[in-house]
Structures are given as structure tokens and as C-alpha cells.
């Protein structure tokens, strides 16, 4: 199969979907890989490394799409790339179509098959492509919050670890999934007083079994979220609902009641965010102030460490790229129902029922578009 890897064009997106190691693996299996020049530059990967791995490197972005059957990206296409999409092409990338109606319209018009990396499932129901990015994001956000709590950065002047005779900073984490659990471990290691809230008690039990220092778990409710947020120096939103907009758990009134100089880091703002006052920011302009509170709402937090993030993402994507390239899309979906759950749009129709419900659009069963075995439908 012909596999394409374009350079990312979203603002401040420094990752690339597949590194040279992955390219070499695909070439060894007989596939042709075409990479846009400069795609790996921000991740410290040169065009020469791609050439050495067996890729074709081109300076023409259109050629990457025109000569590829499968295009693998970090983020979905920008408006300038919609015209490159076409019927018969497979697009594999993070899409967040529930909050990107323009992108969804562009993909539907093209009639390509769009697979949302964030919705692909493994045999245990986990999110194997999203997970490494969640782990990295979770490990980053406590130190990001710690920076913006410093007085010179506009914060309250709080040290999360406290000092002898001085209480540590209070960190509240909404969500005990991959992001929340990673954030709790790092915040605990920094010496903070950490409270984690989640509706899923089993997730909280798993976190408790880790015996992290100064970490308390709470069953989530509207009142519990409000009380915890009002006491927080650093509030981390780590709530993610696959293919749906993230519910706003913290309202504007609560944000305005937080102490001036407190910090909110809303990780899943790419899907709407769990704080009413959140809105997407970029790594070049990461924060804004509202209600006296610093908001850090960068959509692609792992892109701040592209060398690490690219390698982790490439490792996670490679098995799925090999599966699709090796057998074709239909056989790959028949062999892996979890991959089928990632198919969001096919031939101009929404085939993900959760996405259709969250956007109010018409739903078409994937089996009406792509011939699949019964267990995949």
C-alpha cells in the first residue's frame, strides 16, 4: 500500500505521525511511504533520516495525498488540505469531529474514509493510540500548573510542594483516567496535596492501590466538584468522553469564586473542555485570564515535547498502519472490531453512532457502507 505522512499544519503542532523506525518497518513489508519534507524537523528528525529509512521525501504536500492510499497524520486536515482528500483514500488521525464541524463537513464532502485515532479501541476497551498522548499530557500538566502559580507568571505565588512549616499547594484533578492518574502521580511526587474526583469508583480504587502520598479520592458530584474547585490552587480538567463533547463540570460562577491567581489547566479542551470558561489556546499563546484565574487550555499539550511525543505516537500508530496497509481496510476492520470503532466518516456519511448523536447529524451503519462481518457491525 502507498502510505503518506504530511507535515502538520495546525498552529504549534510539532509532532509527526510516523518516525523513521516506523517507515523502515513498513518498507520491509513492501509498502511505499512518501513523507513531506520537513515533517519531522520539530521532532529532531531530518529528511535524510527518512530517506535512509526508505521513504520518498517530497516538498509538494499535494503529492503526498495524491500518491497515497492511506494518509497518517497527528491532527486532522486544515481547511487548506480539504481539497487533497478524495474518495477511496483512508485518513488516520486525531479528529475530534464533535467540536470541528468545518472539518467534518470537509471530510464528508471528500467521501474519504476517516478513522479517528482517539476512538480506536483495543481488545480490553482501552484507547491504544490516545493513551501515550494522555500519559504524556498527564505528566506535563502539574509542572505547567506549578509554573503558572509562580507570582512572576501571574499566579498566587504558591509552591506546590510547600515548605517546612508551610502547607503544600492544593491540586484538584477532575477525572481518574489516563491523564488524571498520570497527573496525580506527578503532583504527588511534587509534594502537593491532591484530590482526584471521578464517577467511576473502580478507577478511584485503582488509584488508591497505588498508595500515592497525599492523594485523596472523591466520588464526583456537582457539589463535590464545586467545593473542591473553590479550594484548589491548581485545578486540572482531565475528563474525556470518546466521540462526544466534554461536559462542562465547572461553571463560570465556580471559577469566579476561586482564589485570584489560581490556575486551571483544562487538558481535553480539544473536545470542549470540562470548565465553562475554557477556550482553546496554543503553545505560542497558552494562557488567558478570566475571573481572576489563569486558564491554560492548549489543545496539543504533548506537542511541547515533540521528540518524546512523536516516538510514543509513532509506536502506537504503527500496528494499525501495518494492519491496514497489509490487508486493506475491509479485512483490517473485519479482523479488528476495535479499529472499526474508530471509523467516524465513510463515503460522505457519519458511521459513528456516538458522533452522530453528539452532533445531531444523521447516522448510517458502517455495514451499509463497508462490507463487514457481523461482529464488527
Residue 156 banded pLDDT, cuts 50, 70, 90: very high
- At which of 262, 284, 304 does a domain end? 304
Specify whether 265 is located in the same domain as 363.
Answer: no
102 and 153 part of one domain: no
**pLDDT band for position 190 (cuts 50, 70, 90):** very high
Does residue 246 fall inside a structural domain?
Answer: yes
Question: Does the structure show a pLDDT above 50 at 377?
Answer: no
Same domain? 14 vs 47: yes
Q: What is the pLDDT of residues 223-253, one digit of tens each?
A: 999 999 999 999 999 998 877 788 899 999 9
- What is the C-alpha separation between 362 and 351, in angstroms, rounded? 9
Pair 299, 327 in one domain: no
pLDDT band, very low/low/confident/very high, at 342 (cuts 50, 70, 90): very high
162 inside domain: yes
The answer as to whether 126 is a domain residue is no
Decide if 111 is inside a domain.
Answer: yes
Q: Is residue 8 part of a domain?
A: yes
pLDDT at 296 over 90: yes
Domain identity same for 114 and 246:
no
* Crossing angle between the packed helical segments 178-189 and 201-209, to the nearest 10 degrees: 30
For 343-355, the pLDDT digits (tens) are 999 999 999 999 9
Per residue in 17-42, pLDDT (tens digit) is: 999 999 999 999 999 999 999 999 99
Strand 287-290, strand 293-296: pairing: antiparallel
CB 106 within 8 A of CB 77: yes
Q: Check whether residue 322 and residue 280 sit in a common domain.
A: no
Q: How many domains does the chain have?
A: 2
Domain assignment present for 127: no
End-to-end CA distance of the chain: 25
Q: What is the CATH number of the domain that holds 149?
A: 3.40.50.720
Q: At what angle do helices 130-148 and 306-327 cross, to 10 degrees?
A: 160
Identify whether 155 is part of a domain.
Answer: yes
Residues 212 and 268 in one domain: yes
- Residue 128 within any structural domain of the chain: no
Residues 6+ apart with CB under 8 A from 87: 110, 111, 112, 347
The reported pLDDT for the residue numbered 373 is 56
Mean pLDDT (the chain) is 95
Work out whether strand 70-75 and strand 2-5 pair parallel, antiparallel, or are unpaired. parallel
Angle at the Cα of 9 from the Cα atoms of 114 and 245, rounded to 5 degrees: 50
Express each pLDDT in 117-152 by its tens digit: 999 999 999 999 999 999 999 999 999 999 999 999
Q: Are residues 273 and 312 in the same domain?
A: no
Confidence of residue 371 (pLDDT cuts 50, 70, 90): confident
Same domain, 266 and 334: no
Q: What's the pLDDT band for 374 if we cut at 50, 70, 90?
A: low
Residues 239 and 296 in one domain: yes
| Domain boundary pick from 263, 281, 304 | 304
Same domain, yes or no: 86 and 157: no
CA trace torsion 187, 193, 195, 196 (10° rounding):
20
CB within 8 A of 83, min separation 6: which ones? none
Instruction: Give the C-alpha distances (Å, rounded to integers) separating 289 from 151, 179, 252, 255, 295.
Output: 14, 24, 13, 11, 6
Last residue of a domain, one of 249, 270, 304: 304
Where does the chain show beta strands of DSSP type E?
2-5, 32-36, 56-58, 70-75, 90-94, 113-116, 170-174, 193-198, 215-219, 234-237, 263-266, 287-290, 293-296, 343-346, 349-350
Do residues 30 and 144 share a domain? no
- Supply the range of the domain harboring residue 285: 133-304
> Over pLDDT 90: what percentage of the chain?
91
Contacts of 38 (CB under 8 A, 6+ apart): 7, 47
Query: Is pLDDT at 324 greater than 70 in this prediction?
Result: yes
Backbone phi, then psi, for 2, in 5-degree steps?
-95, 120
Amino acid at each position: 500500500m502507498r502510505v503518506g505522512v504530511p507535515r502538520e499544519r495546525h498552529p504549534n503542532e510539532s509532532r509527526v505521525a510516523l518516525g523513521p523506525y516506523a517507515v523502515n518497518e513498513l518498507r520491509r513489508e513492501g509498502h511505499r511511504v512518501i513523507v513531506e519534507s520537513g515533517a519531522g524537523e520539530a521532532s529532531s528528525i531530518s529528511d535524510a533520516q527518512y530517506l535512509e529509512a526508505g521513504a520518498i521525501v517530497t516538498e509538494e504536500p499535494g503529492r503526498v495525498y495524491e500518491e497515497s492510499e492511506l494518509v497518517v497524520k497527528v491532527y486532522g486536515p486544515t481547511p487548506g488540505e480539504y481539497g487533497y482528500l478524495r474518495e477511496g483514500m483512508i485518513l488516520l488521525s486525531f479528529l475530534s469531529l464533535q467540536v470541528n464541524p468545518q472539518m467534518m463537513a470537509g471530510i464528508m464532502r471528500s467521501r474519504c474514509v476517516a478513522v479517528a485515532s482517539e476512538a480506536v479501541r483495543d481488545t480490553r476497551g482501552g484507547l491504544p493510540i490516545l493513551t501515550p498522548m494522555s500519559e504524556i499530557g498527564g505528566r506535563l500538566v502539574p509542572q505547567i500548573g506549578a509554573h503558572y502559580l509562580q507570582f512572576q507568571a501571574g499566579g498566587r505565588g504558591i509552591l506546590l510542594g510547600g515548605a517546612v512549616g508551610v502547607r503544600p499547594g492544593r491540586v484538584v484533578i477532575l477525572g481518574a483516567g489516563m491523564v488524571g492518574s498520570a497527573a496525580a502521580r506527578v503532583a504527588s511526587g511534587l509534594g502537593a496535596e491532591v484530590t482526584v474526583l471521578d464517577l467511576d469508583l473502580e478507577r478511584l480504587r485503582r488509584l488508591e492501590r497505588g498508595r500515592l502520598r497525599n492523594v485523596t479520592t472523591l466520588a464526583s458530584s456537582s457539589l463535590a466538584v464545586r467545593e473542591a474547585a473553590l479550594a484548589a490552587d491548581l485545578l486540572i480538567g482531565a475528563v474525556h468522553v470518546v466521540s462526544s463533547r466534554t461536559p462542562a463540570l465547572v461553571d463560570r460562577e465556580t471559577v469566579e469564586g476561586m482564589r485570584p491567581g489560581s490556575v486551571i489547566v483544562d487538558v481535553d479542551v480539544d473536545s470542549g473542555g470540562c470548565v465553562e470558561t475554557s477556550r482553546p489556546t496554543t503553545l505560542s499563546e497558552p494562557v488567558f485570564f478570566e475571573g481572576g484565574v489563569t486558564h491554560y487550555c492548549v489543545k496539543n499539550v504533548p506537542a511541547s515535547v515533540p521528540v518524546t511525543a512523536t516516538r510514543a505516537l509513532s509506536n502506537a500508530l504503527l500496528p494499525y498502519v501495518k494492519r491496514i496497509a497489509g490487508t486493506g481496510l475491509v479485512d483490517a476492520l473485519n479482523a479488528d472490531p476495535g479499529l472499526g470503532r474508530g471509523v467516524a466518516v465513510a463515503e460522505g456519511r457519519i458511521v459513528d453512532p456516538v458522533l452522530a448523536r453528539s452532533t445531531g447529524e444523521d447516522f448510517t451503519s458502517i455495514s451499509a457502507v463497508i462490507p463487514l462481518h457481523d461482529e464488527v457491525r
